Structure 1
Amino acid sequence: MQTQSVVEMRGITKRFPGIIANDNITLDVKKGEIHALLGENGAGKSTLMNILFGLYQPDEGQILINEKPVTISNPNVANELGIGMVHQHFMLVEPFTVTENIILGKEPKKGFKIDSRKAAQDVEQLSQQYGLKVDPNAKISDISVGMQQRVEILKTLYRGAEILIFDEPTAVLTPQEIQELIEIMRNLVKEGKTIILITHKLKEIMAVCDAVTIIRRGKVIDSVKVSETNPDDLAAKMVGREVNFKVDKTPSVPKDVILTVDKVTAKDSRGIDALRNISFEVRAGEILGIAGVDGNGQSELIEALTGLKKVESGKVLLKGNDITNNKPRSISESGLSHIPEDRHKRGLVLDFTMSENMVLETYFHPTFNKNGFLNYDAINKHAAKLIEEFDVRTPSIHTLARALSGGNQQKAIIAREVDKDPDLLIAAQPTRGLDVGAIEFIHKRLIEQRDKGKGVLLVSLELDEIMNVSDRIAVIYEGQIVGIVNPRETTEQELGLMMSGGKRISGGGSDE
């Protein structure tokens, strides 16, 4: 029996200055399926879904919803057609409660007043129906990222969405929250909804999707049933070549100690100890991975090491020199490079050009600065060299950073940090939200740094990444290192147990 098409996009083309984001794309989504849109960063997936949601207008092509042609001029029209979108960056008002966010713009009225009781009941009922356990009275600022995402899903359901678009929904979630989200998606489909999932995570596609359409550089490469494909095939179609999922590296040969963290204590933004007497070392020629559930002091550790947070007690030594509480520029100049966990907040100035972003930490060096005036010829030459060397896909070195895809923004940051030739490279969530091609590229660069005799401190929430890339793994729990293990002598289960405060199951591989 032929299932009805709920979304058909025929010959969709969308141009931006200097780029064709969608090039004659055709997409067919059947009722009641979870349909993945797979592609590298910047392939055109989000643009296509922004057209379906009415945020952009196509230059060419036609959209049919439930087999009827439609013109979706704005998101309100999309809502009326039963289309809801859960954006990668949540659209929530932090001081408002869960209920206030969900009903915003569609408040139930009693006379001229908002009927708060009915609103809370409606939210409660929806959250029960779809297994989205949220507290209707909690403030957005007080709930976890995973819970905030549930509020976004409830917002779309409250507006009557039958077709839900999820844009990279797992980019900011912990492994446990990802499992919960997969369960929620299954419940939604059981209740008759249709889901379009924008992602580049092959594991998730294999776990939860029925069909997948692969987009590469703005064109559809293929559309297949998930039951008839495998991760290797999907990865090759997505990036146009075979992708190696295993990280190729020889055993490390650690040399002198580069970084010493000695009994460091630091507070979080609320004034509570986030790091408590934490101690560990990183040697030249090794990658030390820090594994832990989000919120156990990782962010504060990076900030304390890079001069962005005050160390209350203890010492940080770089090549034997005390850098505790030095200014960020002084730390950077003394041989430390930092790939920050939030590329928008700490990695780039989004309204600067790519060329300017490449010298954010070195613009005052004589090469780029003569008597207080920037030498733009030298800066542009330098930027062009790095952009080519690190395959940063940008229309030009004069393009603003905000116009690039996440993967290309990340490659640019890595190019800048590696080019400083540091003794210690701190890589915080270096592949968050990136596709398999970009992840493979970044892992190679981290291992290259190690093989050049540099120290690398890798802080990641992705256990696969920690297990694959690290030479030793230090587990952080409640601001302390609870154990250091050898990745070849441990398992994800054992690490998971240590990350939740439990002890190692077996001996061996520990430095303690």
Structure 2
Amino acid sequence: MPVTETSGPVLSLQGITKRFGPLTANDSISIDVVPGRIHCLLGENGAGKSTLMNILFGLLAPDEGEIRLGDEKLTLTNPKQAMAAGIGMVHQHFMLIPVFTVAENMVLGREPGTGGMLDLASARRKVRELSERYRLDVDPDALVEDLPVGIQQRVEILKALANDATYLIFDEPTAVLTPQEIDELMAVMASLRDEGRAIVFITHKLREVRAVADDITVIRRGKVVGKAEPSAPEAELASMMVGRSVSLTVDKEPAQPGEARLVIDALTVASPNGAVAVDELSLEVRGGEIVCIAGVQGNGQTELAEALLGTMTPLTGTATLDGVDITRAKPARTIAAGLGFVPEDRHRDGFVGEFSIAENLVLNNLDAYSSGGLLQLGRITQNAKERIEEFDIRSTSQAQPVGSLSGGNQQKVVLARELSRPLSLLLACQPTRGVDVGAIEFLHKRIVAERDRGTAVLIVSTELDEVESLADRIAVMYRGRIVGVVDSDTPRDVLGLMMAGATYDDALATVQEASNE
């Protein structure tokens, strides 16, 4: 249970406003961070949560409003001042030096020692002391680059605790963790809360909020739109985030799979640094089914997708699409063979932000909209009008630059382009990353509809909720290999162990043994 007496004054953000040009990222936001409680800041990507916490940690300066610690007004112009006030932050993207040890990372910027000599023995003792106290088992002499991402996150937490932070900010901390590691993190946050620390937990995942929150503040488009109780149903929280009621389940009939359309046989792909990223991987995807690749990010999913598209060349093995060898084909050929591709980073690979909606909708199919070397602008405009209506793309007109659209509407443009022609395979990587709950509902429906047309669908997603909702079969990927292909109703605990490298049989036995204890 949370402590009843706090170990420090309330940290208050009062009327915080932050603008970036015409965009108001934070609009007069006020929240209280109370020691002994976990305050969840809930909102979609782009809602302004991280901006607000970057202000609290001294990384950004507010345009209006103030931060107070009890009766004292704080001026935070850099993280050093924030840490001096007892504020620590566990960043979404780890702030660690890969070639340094855990101990060296822990004391970076505040190195112990005298006469210019670094006292690493003291740093190691600090790591061991904090590791034992908070049950965060970390080897002080391990190189960070050799550690799994879950252990790297422990190092980030220990760094904040080494400063004796009373107010801890966790910014989307579960994005790269297995379900078991997420459970461990929740237990750590609860332990910190119970000894009197204040936790600010930034997330967009409803399951996690309801698991640990004492207080919930919902932010939408830079404004606080309400507070909620941890017992509130997920549907209620989702509607607060989006501003309307949404369905959190994917409504689909059982798959009617046909013949294998994508066949991958012993494919090996090297990453740009020469390391093997995809290791003799074999997988089949049949027409009329959705296969989701589950796994913690960084286990070869990106390299596999790029090899299938043709932007990376496999070392060995083969990939065929409807019998056509695409193993070493360039993107133009794979697209012509019937591949529709939704990249994991739409801003970098999915569209040209300065181009209009109409132009982006034909980028990979210009031959169909040209004659005699000239673009048929009337047809391009008409296509855009039809796709905008069909995919509910919220815009001022087909001439609006895609870069000015919301994340969800940008993703709709990408998906609309890929689904505007007959496909053999839809390959979608992180199809709903940075997309609001309402747009997720729509995108999932379109993906299922494409499956029902007989297209083979391969989804790469690190969101386990999405995998469980969409998949007809789940292929679990770990260190470049498929460790197992399982049914979509496989227990979450089993999937989590497989994501850490266990076979299905071993994972199932472990879960059953734990349930019997």
Instruction: Give the shorter-chain TM-score range.
Output: 0.7 to 0.9
1:174/1:294 contact within 8 Å kept: no
Cα distance in 1 for residues equivalent to 2:335 and 2:466: 26
Distance 1:344 1:366, change over 3 A: closer
Does residue 76 of structure 2 align to residue 72 of structure 1?
Answer: yes
Identify the range of structure 1 (293-302 vs 44-53) with the bigger mean alpha-carbon deviation.
293-302
Greater alpha carbon shift after TM alignment, 67-76 vs 297-306: 297-306
8 A Cα contact 1:37 1:198, kept in partner: yes
8 A Cα contact 2:277 2:479, kept in partner: no
State the alpha-carbon separation in 2 of the partners of residues 87 and 385 from structure 1: 42
- Taking a change above 3 Å as real, the CA distance of residues 348 and 468 of structure 1, as seen in their structure-2 partners, is same
Contact kept, 8 Å, 1:213 with 1:220, in 2: the verdict is: yes
Deviation (angstroms), 1:35: 0.2
1:223 aligns with 2:227: yes
Equivalent residues in 2 for 1:394-473, closer than 5 Å: 410-411=411-412, 413-419=414-420, 422-432=423-433, 436-473=437-474
Decide which of 107, 113, 120 is 2:111's aligned counterpart: 107
* Distance in 1 separating the partners of 2:333 and 2:386: 26
Note the alpha carbon deviations across 1:263-310, whole angstroms, 9 max, x for none: 445556665584336242321x32122345666654443343223444
Q: CA deviation at 1:369?
A: 8.9
Contact 2:357 2:402 in 1 (8 A): no
Assess if the C-alpha contact under 8 Å between 1:174 and 1:461 holds in 2: no
Q: Secondary structure of 1:166's partner? A: strand
Residue number in structure 2 paired with 1:197: 201
Please say if 1:252 is aligned against 2:255: yes
- How far did residue 182 of structure 1 move? 1.0
Gaps of 5+ in 1: 507-512
Note the C-alpha offset of 1:485: 4.7
Q: TM-score scaled to structure 2, two decimals?
A: 0.82
Aligned to 1:241: 244
- 1:166 is aligned with what amino acid? F
Matched, 1:22 2:26: yes
**Who is 1:338 aligned against?**
341
The one-letter code of the counterpart of 1:190 is D
Distance in 2 between residues matched to 1:318 and 1:183, nearest whole Å: 46
Amino acid at match of 1:95: V
The answer (yes or no) to whether the contact 2:360–2:413 under 8 Å persists in 1 is no
- Counterparts in 2 of 1:124 and 1:497: CA distance versus 1, 3 Å: closer
Aligned residues: 500
Q: How does 1:112-511 map to 2 (within 5 A)?
A: 112-227=116-231, 229-266=232-269, 272=276, 274-276=278-280, 278-283=282-287, 285-292=288-295, 298-341=301-344, 353=354, 355=356, 359=360, 362=363, 365=366, 410-411=411-412, 413-419=414-420, 422-432=423-433, 436-476=437-477, 484-487=485-488, 490-492=490-492, 500-503=502-505
Counterpart Cα distance in 2 of 1:189 and 1:212:
15
Give, in whole Å, the separation in 2 of the partners of 1:404 and 1:134. 43
Cα distance in 2, alignment partners of residues 365 and 338 from structure 1: 16
Candidates 88, 91, 105, aligned match of 1:87: 91
Aligned to 2:514: none
Distance 1:244 1:374, change over 3 A: same
For residues 426 and 69 of structure 1, do their structure 2 counterparts lie closer, same or farther at Cα, with a shift above 3 Å needed?
A: same
Cα distance in 2 for residues equivalent to 1:60 and 1:381:
46
Report the CA distance between 1:392 and its aligned residue: 6.8
User: Which blocks of at least 5 consecutive residues in structure 2 are unaligned?
Assistant: 510-517
**Percentage identity across aligned positions?**
50
Instruction: Quote the offset at 1:433 in angstroms.
Output: 6.1
CA distance in 1, matches of 2:136, 2:446: 40
- Partner-residue secondary structure (3-state), 1:78: helix
Contact kept in structure 1, 2:351 and 2:360, CA below 8 Å: no
Structure-2 separation of matches of 1:498 and 1:89? 24
Q: Please give the per-residue CA displacement for 1:20-66, whole angstroms capped at 9, x wherever unaligned.
A: 22222221222211100011121111121122122222222222113
Q: CA deviation at 1:178?
A: 0.9
Q: Alignment partner of 2:10: what SS?
A: strand
Q: In the alignment, residue 151 of structure 2 is paired with which amino acid?
A: M
Cα distance in 2 for partners of 1:24, 1:244 equals: 30
8 A contact 1:94–1:140 mirrored in 2: yes
**Normalised TM-score (structure 1):** 0.83
- CA contact 2:361–2:416 (8 Å) conserved in 1: no
